[in-house]
Amino acid sequence: MSRREKIIIGEYYHIFNRGVEKRKVFNNNRDYSRFVNAMILLNIEKSSKMPSKKIDINDYPSDNERLVDIVAYCLNSNHFHFILKENKKNGIATFIKKVCTSHAMYFNKKYKRSGVLFQGRFKSKHIDSNDLLLYLSAYVNCNSQIHRVKDAEEYLWCSFPEYLEKSEPSVCQKDIIINQFKDSNKYKKFCLEKIIGMIEKKDDEKLYFLE
C-alpha cells in the first residue's frame, strides 16, 4: 500500500471522493444545500452544529478561523471535487471529515439507511504549479459541464457562478485564481476553452479525476 501524501500548510490540493459503490450522495436540492452550509459552518477547528435557520454572512468563519481556503468546488450527484488550501495542521483532513460525517448522519437519518456513505478516505493530489492550479480550477468549476449534467454557469452546486459574479455571498477564497485575469469574462473564456479538451479526453485523465 502506498503512503499517504503529506499535506503541507500553505499548499493547494485537489480533493475528491464519491459515494460508496458509486451511489448517489445527493438526491435533491435540500441535500446539496445542506452540504454547502456544512462547508461554510464546519470550516473551523472547534465543534459547530448545523443551525435550523438559514445561515448568513455573519455565520462565516473569519480568515484566522478557517481550516482551509475553499478555492473551488463542484458537487455532483455521486461525487465531489474541491480545490483546497491547507491553512492549519491537518486542516484539510479535519474539514473533509467533519463535512462528510455531518452529511452522512443527515443523509442516513433522512433516507432511513445505515453504514458508510462515502468511499473511504478522500483522495488528494498536490497542485505543484500555477499552471496546474489554473487548469484544475477550470476542471473543478466546470465539472458539471464536463460530465454533461448542466452548463457550469447555470449549475447551482459549483463555484463557477461565484467566479462569474452571479452569486452572493461567496463560499470561496478565489483571489488566487481570479486575480490572474483581467476580469471574470476572461476567466470564463479560459475555462470554456480548457474544458473542450477535458471532455474529449476525460476517460484518460484518471490521475486527477473521478469517473
Domains of the chain: 12-203 (3.30.70.1290)
Closest CA to 93 of 140, 42, 152, 56: 42
- The pLDDT value given to residue 3: 53
Residue pair 48/149 in contact (Cβ under 8 Å)? The answer is no
Residue pair 17/92 in contact (Cβ under 8 Å)? The answer is no
Closest CA to 125 of 162, 158, 84: 84
pLDDT tens, position by position, for the chain (211 residues)? 345 678 999 999 999 999 999 999 999 999 999 999 999 999 998 876 776 667 888 889 999 999 999 999 999 999 999 999 999 999 999 999 999 999 999 999 999 999 999 998 999 999 999 999 999 999 999 999 999 999 999 999 999 999 999 987 789 999 999 999 999 999 999 999 999 888 877 655 554 544 4
Residue 175 CA to its chain's centroid (Å): 16
- The pLDDT value given to residue 186: 97
Q: Is 19 helix (H, G, I), strand (E, B) or coil?
A: strand
pTM score above 0.85: yes
C-alpha cell at 77: 450527484
- The pLDDT value given to residue 7: 94
- The pLDDT value given to residue 53: 67
